[in-house]
Amino acid sequence: MNLDSQKALKEDRPIISPIFTTGRGYYIVTGLLLAVCLWALFAYIWQLRYGLSVTGLNRPVYWGIYITNFVFFIGVSHAGTLISAILRLTNAEWRRPITRMAEVITVLVLFFGVGNVLLDLGRPDRALYVIQHGNFTSPLLWDVTAISVYLTASLIYLYIPMIPDLAILRDVSNGWRKKIYRALAVGFTSTDKQRRRLERAIAIMAIMVIPIAISVHTVVSWVFAMTITPMWHSTIFGPYFVVGAIFSGIAALITAMVILRRVYHLEDYLRPIHFNNLGLLLLVMSLLWLYFTFAEYLTVWYGQKPYELPIFWAKVTGEYAPYFWTMFVTCFVIPFAILARKKTRTITGTLVASISVNIGMWLERFTIVVPSLSNPRLPVEMAQYSPTWVEWSLMAGFFAAFILLYMLFTKLFPIISIWEIREGREIGVSETVERLKTYLPGEIKEEGSA
Amino acid sequence: MSLWGMAIDVDRCTGCQACVIACKQENNVPFSTPEQADKGRHIAWIYIQTEIEGEFPDINIRFRPMLCQHCERPPCVVVCPTGATYKNDEGIVAQVYPRCIGCRYCANGCPYAVKTFNYDEPVWPERMKASMNEDVSVRYKGVIEKCTFCSHRLIHAREKAAVEGRELQEEDYQPACVETCPANAMVFGDLENPHSKVSQWNQDPRAEYLLEGLGTRPKVTYLKGGV
């Protein structure tokens, strides 16, 4: 593969053109999202002024949808890095158009996960005390450590495979853009030496990022599991959360892919096969999720422990039953019904399943965080938790800001890796044929004779 | 070194709330409005839990003063990310307000649900303001607070004993709730001293810990058994 930037402009125009041309729709959506963000900013100022009393939190429900969102966002972050790393390492050729859009989700969404913890602090001005005066027995500090490492690794993992594309953009752009791309492309000209180093760096990062990603969501689960709170204190929470994270991550990725495909006319790049493959992955995760959920709840019910049962029943038949059963339907019934059949595993089908899973996984996080707190061991004067307009506004604001930044990214950088697509065309095809031949016994018939 | 602990005779408690008032007065615990109470946000370092046993008409009502159990293995301390809540050498679990970031992790970790959070800026009626205790720092919006076994009194008592050139006596240091209890339902003292009242009460066969099976090893004992 060579770095012929003009050729890129010709061959992969659909990837590059969104960067240089922007339609009216983009500005309208940006305006709407900005309005939501501004509203959320107002809500946050309101919360800073009046404290957490503007939320629906109380005693004993000290954590609500901010923490739910924190777990949810960190979960979604597994979309990118982990999936793209696994697909890269396994040489899955169909990965080429989706790795970049997945990695961007990871990097952006991590900021919002951390942001939610900051929203939840009574004294956000003291957030840095966690580093200055860190107490390493606290799982919250493990979280800070794991997420920082993950964010750094994901950023590097997003950036390194982007360098050849930045070089292409440097060659075809001018003005302020050229300056940015030149700086970011760090003199990449696709010499053999550079290419070897690039590929080596990508391979190393792809391997490193997998244990880091798994550790992050395990540690997030430990924030709950390390306490002795009933139905938080569970040994399977680590893997349960990781499975849920990958599950919601794939769902978020499919959703993003469908939108990008539609808006930027990437039909030629993101084909039904991509959605079929990711849909199958989503199906597997849905079944895994069901297995974990079943194992978790059966153990609790069978054990009949006095402090766990009230929480169990609050979820299954009590006040949280609507959330719990909606979660069950949206995380399992709907995606399973759609994705198990080839006929419905279409682009629209996987989109519906993904949106369903995203809703379901948010509810899963919610039904883990809140019911355990609202059913403490000892009788406490109880107050119901219902989130207020401030909490909902901030949640809306975070989602809006995430979409906004994602959109902004597509205006600065190619959302599909140009060089990897080209590599697929120029090297991937013949390489795959060669690789296939090594799998097979006996003589391979030449093309056309079959 | 001492290990401070408390014993409460639930059979003696009349539920008069004198300890609650004394504690509020002593520790500058903010006044909670009925609206705050309805939202489940009222702040109290000690409160009376009413426990009803049996079926009507054969019922038995008990009052249990609930306060921080000052666990020997406090689940709140291990989870605090900044060390704002810690256990000192004498077993008192304390809260450093200027260090607290208000994450409420400790409150969620506490199985006794005795940590309270300042959701609002604290308010006191004018009359209460006139009698604020200057030995106890006032907490502000956004931090956790809880019972300290009136540890400021320990500092005073120790200084006084030092000035007078004698050992610290049990009577020198008593929390406000114990001092006030008109039914003599609470005693406080050194658990390492076998002759202290609290150690003797702990010998009572009625003595039990709250949620003993959790292994938190509270330093507050409840004596319960009579009718």
Chain segment A383-415, per-residue pLDDT in tens: 789 999 999 999 999 999 999 999 999 999 999
Q: Which of A283 and A378 is assigned the larger pLDDT? A: A283
Tell me how far apart the alpha carbons of residues A82 and A246 are, in angstroms, rounded to a whole number: 8
Nearest CA-CA partner of B27 in B177, B203, B223? B177
Set of chain B residues whose Cβ sits within 8 Å of the Cβ of A50: 120
CB pairs under 8 A between A and B: 136
H-run or E-run covering A181 = helix A176-185
Confidence at residue B87, expressed as pLDDT on a 0 to 100 scale: 95
List pLDDT tens digits, range B61-99.
899 999 999 999 999 999 999 999 999 999 999 999 999
Query: pTM surpassing 0.80?
Result: yes
The one-character DSSP state at A336 is: H
Cα-based distances in Å from B205 to A204, A314, B64, B72:
65, 36, 18, 21
For B120, name the nearest residue in chain A, comparing CA atoms only. Answer: A53
Q: Please classify residue B68 by burial: count the beta carbons closer than 10 Å to its beta carbon, then call 0-12 exposed, 13-18 middle and 19+ buried.
A: buried
H-run or E-run covering B222 = strand B220-223
**Residue A47 · residue A54 · CB < 8 Å:** yes
In chain A, the domains with their CATH numbers are 5-422 (1.20.1630.10)
Assess B96–A contact: CB distance below 8 Å, yes or no: no
Confidence at residue A450, expressed as pLDDT on a 0 to 100 scale: 44
Tokens 């009136």 belong to residue? B150
H-run or E-run covering A384 = none
For A227, name the nearest residue in chain B, comparing CA atoms only. Answer: B109
The one-character DSSP state at A97 is: T
What band does A449 get if pLDDT is binned at 50, 70 and 90? very low
Judge: B99–A134 Cβ closer than 8 Å, yes or no. no
Nearest CA-CA partner of A103 in A88, A81, A75? A81
* Residue B81 CA, distance from chain mean position: 23
Tell me how far apart the alpha carbons of residues B11 and B223 are, in angstroms, rounded to a whole number: 7
Assess B166–A contact: CB distance below 8 Å, yes or no: no
Q: Is the ipTM of this complex over 0.90?
A: yes
Tell me how far apart the alpha carbons of residues A218 and A212 are, in angstroms, rounded to a whole number: 10
Portion of chain A with pLDDT greater than 90, in percent: 83
Contact map slice: B 129-148 vs A, CB within 8 A: 141-144
Contact map slice: B 199-218 vs A, CB within 8 A: 210-211, 214
Per-residue pLDDT at B1 exceeds 80: no
For residue A352 the two structure tokens come to: 């519906």
Q: Fill in the amino acid letter for A352.
A: V
Residue B47: strand pairing partners: B66
In chain B, the domains with their CATH numbers are 4-223 (3.30.70.20)
Of A283-292, A347-356, B121-130, minimum mean pLDDT range:
B121-130
What is the Cβ-side half-sphere exposure of residue A385, based on CA atoms within 13 angstroms?
Answer: 22
Picking from B79, B116, B119, the nearest residue to A51 by CB comes out as B119
Set of chain B residues whose Cβ sits within 8 Å of the Cβ of A310: none
Picking from B49, B79, B121, the nearest residue to A139 by CB comes out as B79
Set of chain B residues whose Cβ sits within 8 Å of the Cβ of A122: 100-104, 117-118, 141-144
Contact map slice: B 172-201 vs A, CB within 8 A: none
For residue A158 the two structure tokens come to: 């997003």
Per-residue pLDDT at A52 exceeds 80: yes
* Residue A168 CA, distance from chain mean position: 28
Confidence at residue A305, expressed as pLDDT on a 0 to 100 scale: 93
Judge: B109–A229 Cβ closer than 8 Å, yes or no. yes
